[in-house]
Amino acid sequence: MTAPGLTISYHPPFSASSPGELYQWLGHALLLVPGGVLLGLSVVHWGSGPAVRLWRRLEGLTAQEKTAGALLVGVVAFLAARIGRAVFLLDRAFTDDEQAARFGGQVLASGRVLVKLTDPIEAFPTLFFYVRDGMGSSFEWLGLQLAWAFGELTGTGSLVFSLAAAVPAVAVAWVVTRRLGAAWGAVAALLVLLSPMSALLSMTSHAHLLSRAALSVAVVFYLQAEEKGGRWWTWFGAMGGVAFLCRPFESLFFLAPFYLWVLWRLVRRELPVGACLGGLVLGWAPALVAFLAFNHAVTGDALLPARVSMYTFPAKLSAHDGSLWERFGGNTSYNALMLGVWFLGPVGMLLVGAGASWDRLTKLLLLSVLSLLGLGLFHDNHGIHSVGPIHYSECVPALALVAVHGLKRLVDVARKAELPRATVMAGVLGALVVGLGILGARNALSLREQARIHESMDAFVNDAGLGRAVVLAPQYGVAWNQVPAFRKVGSFVFEWAPPRPDQDQDVIVLHDGPGFAEKLRPQFPDRRFFRMVPGKSPDPFRLVPLDSGPAPATATDEGAR
């Protein structure tokens, strides 16, 4: 009688959780998890035989078959990300910074780092932009813009992000296969694929996908470097540099425990100083040079990235820096809770706890997660949680590696206690498959609802038959909020997609303002001008021509109605 339902909405502040979300999380923990355990146990009597045969077959794979299996895992992860993006995100941005990053990639693809914007500058959609002297581009990190530049030059768009989404599952499977066997490697890959924060983020085009992929490969190269030394230290450093170009602060904090451990071993003469330290420096050099050169080209200062130029640097990372305790409560502890909800739920927390002390690697990985959580003490950007705690997405491969060791430990305990190992595996996997499957599916469907807002808005503008035109409109968030159905669902996209730097598109949407039309006409002499104004029921908007000639007919999207 008092339940608010399970509706998920997308409204600021980012850390706000709707009542429907909280009920969904409680339902997952208290109903779906135990229900999944019981469903898993119910199939043990007829499923244990085939499962044991499959397990033995996996354990007996040849080297060639293991390689083929790793490729299969990658293909599955890639297809899941690609299909999920098309079906649930409708191949659209989930947040404004994705749109700004794509614009930055388009600028780089044109051979520039900044382009001339409109005059007045207020007419151009510049959210998450760096603007200087009438020139501007995305303020995102170089690695993300390079990924979009690759998509623009090759015509593949966001494909590179789906490829990056597949890397962690393969990397985790490789590590666990070498340590515990191919069957456990398959289980580890399954944990990555089942994690809601892994699956949902993989549909997007955020920088976190790139850094997550690079850091998971960096762990692979670290293990190779410890075992074989030599050039692997260079590759370990290089992959850390790639992650740094995509998300500098997060990558450094995640890798800090590994580098401190390497330093400790160097001090104790357990590693060759020349090969190890020299290799790391050599590996990091290209990324650092690119980072400094790009900063200098954009801001004029090699040590001042565009991303932080809007803040007081380096004393603060945020213009609204709170006290240490405020940042701990509002950022670090909040995201720790979100990790508990979104990684693998309560079962995942149990598995991570059981596997934390397995060996040096699991301890380093857990320290990396804690170090990344510690970064929250230095800024107050909580981050969205609708695809999991987004700023902590790099934690998924690390937590999956720890969790699979925890599951192995529980199975070993069951064996020593003369309990059926199949029962433990069936119960755990039942909870994960059923519980996380339903939780992830419900959240994915809600993502599609907010994506329909942008599909409808795009259709209203681009399907109106305007030809080559400029539409002067209110701020995007103001526009879609005029539709009650859209306002109820909400979205984290509040700005129109910026026009391409080459303006090679039929309809360009710019901000409206006093005298903007007159000032903009000379800059777009070959285009007709229209103004978006409130419509009459049932149409939420009208497009009014601002020049002579008949106005083309406009069609209102059914979703907008």
Residue keyed to tokens 């990190």:
141
CB < 8 Å & 24+ apart, contacts of 374-379: 374/253, 374/332, 375/249, 375/250, 375/253, 376/327, 376/328, 376/331, 376/332, 376/335, 377/324, 377/327, 377/328, 377/331, 377/332, 378/249, 378/317, 378/327, 379/317, 379/318, 379/321, 379/327, 379/331
Which residues, in sequence order, are CB contacts of 268 under 8 Å at separation 6+? none
73-100, pLDDT tens digit by residue? 999 999 999 999 999 999 999 999 999 9
Calpha distance 123→512 (Å, rounded): 6
What was the pLDDT predicted at 6? Answer: 86
Q: What is the mean pLDDT of residues 310-336?
A: 68
Contacts of 317 (CB under 8 A, 6+ apart): 249, 308, 311, 378, 379
* Chain mean pLDDT for the chain: 91
Q: How confident is the model at residue 556 (pLDDT cuts 50, 70, 90)?
A: very low
d(CA 298, CA 443): 38
pLDDT over 90 at 378, yes or no: no
Closest CA to 138 of 116, 114, 159, 122: 114
Q: Does residue 70 contact residue 172 with C-beta atoms inside 8 Å?
A: no
The pLDDT assigned to 329 comes to 85
Span 345-350, average pLDDT: 94
Using the structure block, give the residue that is written with the tokens 């071993």.
265
Confidence class for position 313, pLDDT limits 50, 70, 90: very low
pLDDT tops 60 at residue 320: no
Q: What is the average per-residue pLDDT within 140-146? A: 97
pTM, full prediction: 0.92
CA angle at 489 for the pair 487 and 495, rounded to the nearest 5°: 65
Tokens 């515990």 -> residue: 180
Q: Which residues contact 496 (CB under 8 A, 6 or more apart)?
A: 125, 473, 476, 509, 510, 511
State the pLDDT at residue 550: 41
- Asked if residues 14 and 383 have their Cβ atoms less than 8 Å apart, the reply is yes
Amino acid 408: pLDDT: 95
Query: 508 and 498 in contact (C-beta within 8 Å)?
Result: no
Going by pLDDT thresholds of 50, 70 and 90, the confidence category of residue 324 is confident
Closest CA to 450 of 392, 389, 496, 386: 386
Candidates 176, 219, 193; CA nearest to 407 is: 176
Per-residue buried b or exposed e for 105-125, using 16+ beta carbons within 10 Å of the residue's own CB: bbbbbeeebbbebbebeebbb
Name the DSSP class of 320: T
Per-residue pLDDT band for 198 (boundaries 50, 70, 90) equals very high
- Other C-beta atoms closer than 10 Å to the C-beta of 313 total 14
Distances (CA, A) of 359 to 253, 364, 465: 21, 9, 64
Take residue 18 and report the two structure tokens written for it.
Answer: 């709707």
Residue 150, exposed/middle/buried by CB under 10 A (0-12, 13-18, 19+)?
A: middle
* Residue written as token pair 């850094």: 211
All residues at 6 or more sequence positions from 120 whose CB lies less than 8 Å from its CB, including other chains = 513, 516, 519
Report how far residue 141's alpha carbon sits from residue 133's, in angstroms, rounded to the nearest whole number: 20
CA separation for the pair 248, 463 (Å, rounded): 41
Residue 557's pLDDT band, with cuts at 50, 70 and 90, is very low
Enumerate the H helices of 89-230 as residue ranges: 96-109, 142-154, 159-180, 182-194, 196-201, 207-228
Q: Mean pLDDT lowest for which of 50-59, 111-120, 313-322?
A: 313-322
404 pLDDT more than 80: yes
Q: Give the C-alpha separation, 397 to 392, whole Å.
A: 11
What pLDDT does residue 325 have?
84
> What number is the average pLDDT over the span 330-334?
88
Confidence at residue 379, expressed as pLDDT on a 0 to 100 scale: 79
Would you place residue 316 in the very low, low, confident or very high pLDDT band (cuts 50, 70, 90)? very low
Among 83, 66, 82, 356, CA closest to 186: 66
Query: pLDDT of 211-226, one tens digit each?
Result: 999 999 999 999 999 9
Helix (H) or strand (E) holding 528: strand 528-534
Burial class (CB in 10 A: 0-12, 13-18, 19+), 273: exposed
Closest CA to 540 of 472, 485, 475, 469: 485
Lowest model confidence (mean pLDDT) among 40-49, 231-240, 369-378, 467-476: 40-49
Q: At what angle do helices 231-246 and 207-228 cross, to 10 degrees?
A: 170
Among residues 198, 242, 199, 239, the alpha carbon closest in space to that of 220 is found at 239
Q: Looking at residue 321, what is its pLDDT?
A: 56
The percentage of residues in the chain with a pLDDT greater than 70, rounded to a whole number, is 95
Q: Which pLDDT does position 128 carry in this prediction?
A: 93
Least confident of 8-17, 84-93, 321-330, 384-393: 321-330
